Amino acid sequence: AKTVWLCQKRLTQAGAIDGLFNRFDATLRNAGYLPMSGQILDATLVAAPKQRNTNAEKADLREGRIPEDWQDKPAKLSHKDRHAR
């Protein structure tokens, strides 16, 4: 614990902590990970799932409608993030 504390203290004194963590966040984002402040409960990183929606489905979602193909498939509907932008 003391080693980590000393490292953090020296990085802060050198004014390098913001730049270091900005580069770290950018590296994670470029690798497909979404770092969120206050969201990590453990050290596990999970790749963000990609939405594979057709253009017609995207248009329906933009207008606030549920695509016709999804209405009779509750499992598919529950796995889609309809509010993502």
pLDDT 10s digits, 32-71: 887 676 665 567 777 767 778 889 988 888 888 888 888 8
| Alpha-carbon span 12 to 55, nearest angstrom | 48
> Which one is predicted more confidently, 1 or 5?
5
Share the mean pLDDT of the chain: 82
Per-residue pLDDT, 38: 66
Per-residue pLDDT, 75: 82
Burial class (CB in 10 A: 0-12, 13-18, 19+), 25: middle
SS3 label, residue 66: coil
Task: Give the residue among 61, 42, 45 at the shortest CA–CA distance from 53.
Answer: 61
Over residues 10-19, the mean pLDDT reads: 90
